Amino acid sequence: MGYTIGVDVGGTFTDVVLGGTSGAIAVAKCLSTHYDPIAGIVAGVTRALGDRDPAQVRRVVHATTLATNAVLERKGVRVAFVTTQGFRAAVPLGRYARVEEDRYDLRFSPPPPPVAAGDCFEVVERVSARGAVLTPLDLDSVRRAAAAITARGITSAAVCLLHSYADPAHERQVAEILRESIPDVVTSSEIWPEIREYERATTTIMSAYIGPLMASYLSQLRERLAEIGIRAPVHVMESSGGVISAELAARRAVATIESGPAAGVLAAAGTGFPNVISFDMGGTTAKACVVRGGAPEITNEFHVGGKGSFGGRRAGTGVPIKTPAIDLAEVGAGGGSVAWLDAAGALRVGPHSAGSSPGPACYGLGGSEPTVTDANLVLGYLSSASLPLTPDLAAKALDRLASPLGVSREEAAYAVHEIVSASMASAVHVVTVQRGIDPRGFALVAFGGAGPMHAARVAERFGIGTVVVPAHCGVASAAGLLTGALSTDRVLSRLDAPDPSAVFTSLTAEAAADLGVSPSDPGVLVSRSVDVRFKGQSHDLTVEWTPSREVLASRFFTRYEEVYGIAQRGDIELVSYRIRLTAPTPPPPDATAPPAAHTADTTAPPAAHTADTTAPPAAPPADAAAPPPDARPAAPVADDAPAVRALAPTSSPQANTPSLSPHPFGADAASVGTAEPGATGTAPSAATPSGAAGGATAGSKATESEPLRDEAAATDPGTPGSEVPGDEGAAAVPRARRAYFPETGGYVDVPVHTRDTMAGGPLHGPAIIEDAESTIVVPPGWSATLAGTRAVHLTRSTTCPTS
């Protein structure tokens, strides 16, 4: 036996997926422990393992927001910046573009620089952009800088000398001397040797800023996992969607800044549709990304903590990071987003979130401010889940908006629903329309739990006719980690290098050494690209490499027209050379799930869901029929455990491929099973077969060690009648409740289905589909079908009205 564990630590919840070659075995979800993130990880891993042998774990893959939060909250270590004489002020001066409200602020003060002016030091040396040594390195100036840094008590240094990408010899000498007295020293030639001095400097500084934190964190994580018997390698998701070793992540910590959001995009990329828009809505934020040809869009520069319009980020705001990252737009809109009235009496939603404590008013945990979750409960889109919701508290919160607005409660609730949908649509707009992409040819893949409730309304705004809600979307990011291949990127700027093949060979050797493989090993893939620009211009575009200058120019001209809308021709020059090396991750021996879940304390609050992360050998057919679910019930989880799901094995093996497939949302995903009994906190209803009723104690409150649903269920819970089969022969039936849709003139009785009750043809809206992880709203004019992957496909009628 052998298992792989995916761990996704978010701002609110920590997800753990335990998988083998047959797909997911169990999933655990608990509140993130911000005072000690590893405590939440260990708790989740322990619960997901159950009585399985931890020594059988072969690999742990981790996505974390540690680096991002350290930058945003300015909680990294103090850094000394060492640069070429005459350029010490480059970073303190920085650059800042005024956007949004900053444009009109007469008392505007730019944010502080990443390194204070007093912590910047110079050494005597100079290298030209072509690598010629103009001024030899003065070693005494380096020793003086080292002494000054040590005297200040600074333990981390970033070295970025002018044009060191062209010749890194001086940087290496400086680093060697600094390391005699300074524990942590990083150089730009090690981190990202690419042109543009300011961006290369800030990238190096950020790596020095968060590197010690990341190294300490990952070291402690390995130690804590070893304490519970897991001694498997720990891998970390990097910003571009690849997976690197913990050792490499510590050395190149800047590559993990966008680690958290990347895994969810990989999940969306594996749904079987070549062109999709990833739409991830959680409790606090919503994120959008374009996936074309099965691969997410990648940017070679992004800004941490920057500002912009509607989810975009303007150059000149925040801290520029010049490493590859999945190109995302993010807005402060989620299930916990607070609705409020501004000074002019206009209704606003977000970006402030009620979070998990005190949470939305309907949680009954002390919150009183109206949130998106409260609005959706008032509208009838939600009902109680394992954490019982209180409609009266939601109604009371919404009345605080309705009264001053002079509208009814349901009108205020729908306004909140519509505003947050518009806010999230702006993120989709940034990654599509603003970049010249017509979104109508894409499918919208909604996950994160709260996303499926708003996905159809977001899609309507762009004329998107297909929405895909993968099976078990609440754990999409954690499941996406299981598909990440070992990979790393390398770049080197060489203006029109005389021998590009030698540059590529050198970069490939470095990348292979990072991953501990040989370029000639079976299954190792190397992709090559090059940055090209017109002579006389200062900015470039990345195109696929070819030795033919004519073909390369043609590709550049085509790309230039795609980006700028101008058909231009002229002489070109090559600026930077890039490679991405991907190594195969051998699957562990097949891990078959036990025939029944482990025993546990039956007094546990029910928070179990399914965790279907079976990996398919190929993309799923969209019209495949859904196989019958495995209705085997599982025992409740322990009283202090996160939600844990034990699933039956599947019959299809995982494909051995280094690509993003096999994927947990692929063709064989349906064969794993459905939710355990106890997934809801309500009494058995018409949709709950005999013997499936769960057992949350009414009024129970969530704590950091208490079982919880995924982020969707916590922010937008709605799981009455969810997939809770009682015995092998039980057949769930739909029920109904009143929900608000303006197209129908207000409240109307709508059918409430689960994925189990959808068989037999399309389900026409208005309707609601609930499972243990999310609630899918099917508005009027839309229809829903269940695919063979157990994904729900929403299809819009060509004659349906728009919202």
The DSSP code sequence of 133-149 is: EEE---HHHHHHHHHHH
Q: From the CB of residue 340, how many other CB atoms can be counted at a distance below 10 Å?
A: 15
Q: What pLDDT score does 507 carry?
A: 96
Burial of 196 (0-12, 13-18, 19+ CB in 10 A): middle
Strand partners, 468: 445, 793
Task: For 27-60, write each residue's pLDDT tens digit.
Answer: 887 777 778 889 999 999 999 999 999 999 999 9
Alpha-carbon span 297 to 301, nearest angstrom = 12
Reading the block at residue 176, the tokens are 């060697």
CB 652 within 8 A of CB 671: yes
Query: Residues near 745 by Cβ (< 8 Å), separated by ≥ 6?
Result: none
Please state whether beta strands 572-583 and 525-534 pair in parallel, antiparallel, or not at all (unpaired). antiparallel
Q: Which residues are CB-neighbours of 769 under 8 A, at least 6 positions away?
A: 752, 753, 754, 755, 758, 763, 775, 776, 778, 784, 792
Q: Maximum CA pair distance of the chain?
A: 83
Q: What's the CA gap between 707 and 141, in Å, rounded?
A: 58
Q: Quick: pLDDT tens for 605-664.
A: 333 333 333 333 333 333 333 333 333 333 333 333 333 333 333 333 333 323 343 444
pTM, two decimals, is 0.76
Q: Which two tokens stand for residue 335?
A: 């299930």
Q: Where do we find the tokens 């990238």?
A: 203
Rounded to the nearest angstrom, the gap between the alpha carbon of residue 331 and the centroid of all alpha carbons in its chain is: 13
Query: How far is 756 from 731, CA to CA, in rounded Å?
Result: 8
Rounded to 5°, the CA angle 206-207-209 comes to 60
Output 114-117 pairs: Cβ under 8 A, ≥24 positions apart: 114/79, 114/202, 114/205, 114/206, 114/209, 114/319, 115/79, 115/80, 115/81, 115/91, 115/158, 115/205, 116/92, 117/88, 117/89, 117/92
The answer to whether 239 and 207 are in contact (CB under 8 A) is no
Radius of gyration of the chain (CA): 27
What lies within 8 Å, CB to CB, of 152 at 6+ separation is 80, 119
Token pair, residue 350, equals: 């977000």
The residue assigned the tokens 């077969």 is 689
The pairing of strands 23-31 and 120-123 is unpaired
Nearest CA to 271 out of 418, 469, 520, 540 is that of 469
Enter the DSSP assignment of 254.
Answer: G
CA 577 remoteness from chain centre: 28
Q: What is each CA distance from 715 to 147, 422, 512, 537, in whole angstroms?
A: 52, 18, 43, 49
Tell me how many degrees the CA angle 230-241-530 measures, rounded to the nearest 5: 135
pLDDT of 508:
96
Cα(48)–Cα(594) distance, rounded to whole angstroms?
Answer: 13
> What is the C-alpha to C-alpha distance for residues 443 and 291, in angstroms, rounded to an integer?
10
Strand 3-9 with 13-20, pairing: antiparallel
* pLDDT for position 640: 34
Q: How far is it, in rounded angstroms, from Cα 732 to Cα 772? A: 14
Burial of 93: CB neighbours in 10 Å, binned 0-12, 13-18, 19+:
exposed
- Helix/strand/coil for 109: coil
Return the pLDDT at 635. 32
Residue 323 and residue 192 in contact, taking contact as beta carbons nearer than 8 Å: yes
Residue that has been written with the tokens 């090396």 in this structure: 581
Strand partners, 644: 28
d(CA 247, CA 191): 14
Q: What is the dihedral of CA 512, 515, 521, 524, to 10 degrees?
A: -90
Query: Which phi and psi angles does 703 have, rounded to 5°?
Result: -125, 180
Determine the pLDDT at residue 102.
76
Report the half-sphere exposure of 589 (CA within 13 A, side-chain side).
Answer: 3
Burial 465-485 (b: 16+ CB within 10 A, else e): bbbbbbbbbbbbbbbbbbbbb
Q: How far apart are CA 698 and CA 160, in angstroms?
A: 59
Contact criterion met (CB below 8 Å) for 362 and 755: no
Nearest to 600 by CA among 541, 642, 561: 642
The predicted pLDDT at position 669 comes to 42
pLDDT digits (tens, 9 = 90+) for 375-391: 999 999 988 654 678 99
pLDDT < 70: residue spans in the chain: 1, 11-12, 21-24, 100-101, 306-316, 356, 384-387, 586-733, 772-773, 798-803
Helix (H), strand (E) at residue 298? strand 298-299
